Amino acid sequence: MKRRIKVGLLEKKACGGCFERLKETAVSNELLDNIEFLDIIKGDEKADFVLVQGGVLSSSQKKLLEKISRAKKKLILFGSCAIDPNFILGIKNIRSAGEIGSVFSSICGCPPSNDEIGELLKSLILSKTIPKISWPVCNECSENEIKCLLLKGEECDGPNTLGGCEVLCPKYDKSCKGCRTRLEKKEIR
């Protein structure tokens, strides 16, 4: 039988879209029998895992993350702007929680898909990490026989961007804007 886990939600500077998607996924996957979601306010809650949405701007946010990290909570960077807030949110002097505490797992996407979130939640119930993505968006274009936009003289950030979105934009003849974070950020997953 699967165990019941406590997952803390820590919201930093972000649009909030990732946690909205998270709640939707948890309900639609009927995972609420196994997961209790907690709001992390002081960092001392009884969470097994802490999902971080967004980037760290203030010194109080940094202190809270340090406290969570000292308490050996398992940090999950949840969504692209938690992994690379500077690039995704376009804000200077903003930091990823991954630069402050040790990261157990992470999930990119702006926001991540329901399937990706479902996979993450199920892995947390089993106390496992999810497989890392290490390939660019371009790989999925090849697999899906999508004609490259660069060959048509258009711009596309696919070569520099982590895949896993099933070429959501090139599939509809739209350029990749890099919303799943830079390939070189993969070391914090």
Interface contacts to ligand SF4, rule CB under 6 A: 14-18, 53-54, 79-81, 88, 110-111, 137-138, 141, 146, 148-150, 156, 158-159, 161, 165, 167-170, 176-177, 179-180
Using the minimum distance from each CB to ligand SF4, give the nearer residue, 12 or 34: 12
Q: How far is the CB of 183 from ligand SF4 (least distance, A)?
A: 11
Using the minimum distance from each CB to ligand SF4, give the nearer residue, 15 or 38: 15
Residue 83 to residue 111: CA distance in whole angstroms: 12
Provide φ and ψ at 171, rounded to 5°: -60, -30
Closest to ligand SF4 by CB, 34 or 169: 169
Give residue for tokens 């599939």. 171
Nearer to ligand SF4, 8 or 111 (CB): 111
In the complex, minimum distance from the CB of residue 91 to ligand SF4, in angstroms, rounded to a whole number:
11
> Helices 114-125 and 17-28 sit at what angle, rounded to 10 degrees?
70
Query: How many whole angstroms separate alpha carbon 131 and alpha carbon 74?
Result: 17
Q: Are strands 5-11 and 74-78 parallel, antiparallel or unpaired?
A: unpaired
As a 3-state breakdown, the chain gives helix, strand, coil percent values, each rounded to 5, of 35, 20, 45
Q: How many residues does the chain have?
A: 189
Smallest distance from the beta carbon of 153 to ligand SF4, in angstroms?
12
Minimum distance, C-beta of residue 2 to ligand SF4, in the bound complex (Å): 27
- Closest-CB residue for ligand SF4? 158
- Least gap, CB of 1 to ligand SF4 (angstroms): 32
Q: Under a CB-based contact definition with an 8 Å cutoff, are residues 163 and 140 in contact?
A: yes
- Using the minimum distance from each CB to ligand SF4, give the nearer residue, 34 or 100: 100
